Structure 1
Amino acid sequence: MAPPPGPVYSFLHALPIPSLPYNIEHWVPGSTPISTVAEVTLAMVVYLVVIFGGQALMRGSKPYRFQPLFMLHNFLLSSGSALLLALMLEEIVPIVWKHGLFYAICNTSAWTPRMETYYIFNYYFKYWELFDTVFLVVKKKPLQFLHVFHHTATAVLCYTQLNGRTSVSWVVITLNLFVHVLMYYYYFMTAAGYKIWWKKYLTTLQITQFVIDLFTVYFASYSYFAATYFPNMPSMGSCAGTEGAAIFGCALLTSYLFLFIAFYQKTYKAQAGKNKADAASKAAAKVAKKTN
């Protein structure tokens, strides 16, 4: 049984805004927008054509900044992620409190109607976030493999978990929303001209997120497969969700962890080396000046 609505949900429903259509509140493959393999594939193809075609078109043009639009994009994504995070936490925390963590990540009852709506909104956020890359293209910034792969694959991941109805999804999504609140706030502030010192720690937080994600989804998957196929092995019982969604989620999140670790090492070790070289160069210049 789902917990009663929380204060954030109740506040939003008290506002004079139209009710959501049934196929937005509930995942109905073929009726909910972008809910079929063909639609998801088409969306990803359009994304790749737009960004790589845009790069080709921009070769002979000067970069465009679209600063106010870029700031609005990041502000809305940061605040929207915070709102969705609050809605999800007020729904799932009472379930954890009443029934325990294993129930919350593995029982079918943890996939409540309201959580399903939040999962759908989070899924659509992934398509909104594709405009991150469009801004990079018009600014003539390089497109890293990690950026393009992460944006496309995460939309597909959310699609597979909605189809698979994996109750453990909230762990991955709430952590991701928390990171995105900070990440898009960082981009908003830097676009406004502020120097933010904690970018390196934001990447560390992303890596930590994937470590927690993997521990949780591997545990849930092990428990399901052990209870289903190897009843003599120790487990806490079966876990909600399809096998395909579980395997795909584990594989993709594992790739994210290694890719972000590689990005961290490449970015910040190179920066540390550059800082040391700059410091040595300045020290040598001071010695030469004194000598002269």
Structure 2
Amino acid sequence: MEFYRELNSFTIYKNDSTQRLTSDYTYKYALPFEKIDEPEKITLFLQMNWMHTLTISVLYYAIVRGIEWILKGRPGFSLKTPLLLWNGALAIFSILGFIRFSEDFLVSLYLQGVYRSICYSVHPNDVAAFWSLLFAISKIVELGDTLFIVLRKKPLIFLHYYHHAAVLIYTVHSGAEHTAPGRAFIAMNYLAHSFMYTYYTVAAAGVRLPRWVPMTVTTIQTTQMLAGVAISIVVYRIKSVYGWPCQQSYPNLYLAFLIYFTFAVLFIQFFYNAYFARKKKSKEEQKETKKIQ
């Protein structure tokens, strides 16, 4: 076990050989609980168990379909207050997560440039590591979003459950490797979810918002996916063209590219269908109504 611990803890990748590349940035102000005392144990746990996210994803899909089957022919639940509290809690968590975590990435980007910001992982004992661990845990919690959809009998699109399952798997796999571009990915996701869950909270409160608000939220989400593709391409060039050390294995890099590319395509498709195809269809229906009259 000690040999396994020595070999696998804090694995860093220069063309997939073991090294260690971590940021030396430490937060000037940290709350007492914003620390990880034994990061090696968490790393080892993730390395030995990350594949169980596949099991969770399969169970998640089966439970969702099972609930849909049980509610077939029955009215959905209202769940207005629980939904409001759920989205509100996730909005607050995402905002706090972005404020606390992004300091590490933004300071690194400003002072040290792109290379060290996406090829050196967070300091394993500092604030950013704590919030990255909470981020990974939140991906399991956020599976509850789907339960609200199916229990209320709202339309469930492929993008929704694919996004939740894929992000969970990739996040935990990245945590097991201390994937360095995760500094950018986590900061972007915290930011996007700050807007998304705030919008969901306001909508759950019964406030009717103008059309440009959900369009802006979807645009932010789509931009996040396109940025993920761009970062993955940059990391690939750093590793394969320049041969510089970068803490991201090729399997994890290929998985990141696949996930972000498919997300980008699906979000662009969703954006078009939700805000342009529907509007076009509405205009056509109005024309048909005028013809009938």
- In terms of mean alpha carbon deviation, does 43-52 or 183-192 score higher? 43-52
The one of 188, 208, 230 equivalent to 1:215 is: 230
Residue 83 (structure 1) aligns with: 96
The one of 253, 265, 272 equivalent to 1:258 is: 265
In angstroms, what is the RMSD of aligned CA positions? 2.5
Name the CA distance, whole Å, in 1 between partners of 2:171 and 2:148: 23
Which runs of 4 or more aligned residues in structure 1 lie more than 4 Å from their structure 2 counterparts after TM superposition?
18-26, 278-285
Amino acid at match of 1:3: Y
Deviation sequence 1:230-285 (CA, Å, 0-9, x none)? xxxxxxx3322212111111111111111111112222222211342465478779
Deviation at 1:113, TM superposition (A): 2.9
Residue 114 (structure 2) aligns with: 101
Structure 1: gaps of 5 or more residues: 229-236
Q: Which has the higher contact order (CA 8 A, sep 6+)?
A: 2
Structure 2: gaps of 5 or more residues: 1-22
The one of 87, 105, 125 equivalent to 1:113 is: 125
Name the CA distance, whole Å, in 1 between partners of 2:99 and 2:51: 32
SS of residue in 1 equivalent to 2:242: helix
- In terms of mean alpha carbon deviation, does 95-104 or 136-145 score higher? 95-104
Q: How does 1:73-222 map to 2 (within 5 A)?
A: 73-108=86-121, 110-114=122-126, 115-197=128-210, 198-222=213-237
Amino acid at match of 1:220: V
Deviation sequence 1:21-70 (CA, Å, 0-9, x none)? 7567963333x6x9614532221122112111111111132110211111
Name the CA distance, whole Å, in 2 between partners of 1:157 and 1:254: 14
The one of 59, 64, 71 equivalent to 1:58 is: 71
Residue 6 (structure 2) aligns with: none
Name the CA distance, whole Å, in 1 between partners of 2:102 and 2:274: 33
Name the CA distance, whole Å, in 1 between partners of 2:51 and 2:238: 32
- In terms of mean alpha carbon deviation, does 145-154 or 158-167 score higher? 158-167
Residue 39 (structure 1) aligns with: 52
Deviation at 1:91, TM superposition (A): 2.2
Deviation at 1:116, TM superposition (A): 2.8
1:274 to 1:102, Cα distance in 2 relative to 1, 3 A: same
- In terms of mean alpha carbon deviation, does 274-283 or 40-49 score higher? 274-283
Deviation sequence 1:82-129 (CA, Å, 0-9, x none)? 111111122233323332222111135x45433332222111111111
Computing the radius of gyration over CA atoms, which structure comes out larger, 1 or 2?
Answer: 1
Residue 49 (structure 1) aligns with: 62
1:72 to 1:120, Cα distance in 2 relative to 1, 3 A: same
The one of 80, 103, 124 equivalent to 1:67 is: 80
Name the CA distance, whole Å, in 2 between partners of 1:265 and 1:19: 41
Identity among equivalent pairs (%):
21
Count of residue pairs brought into register by the alignment: 268
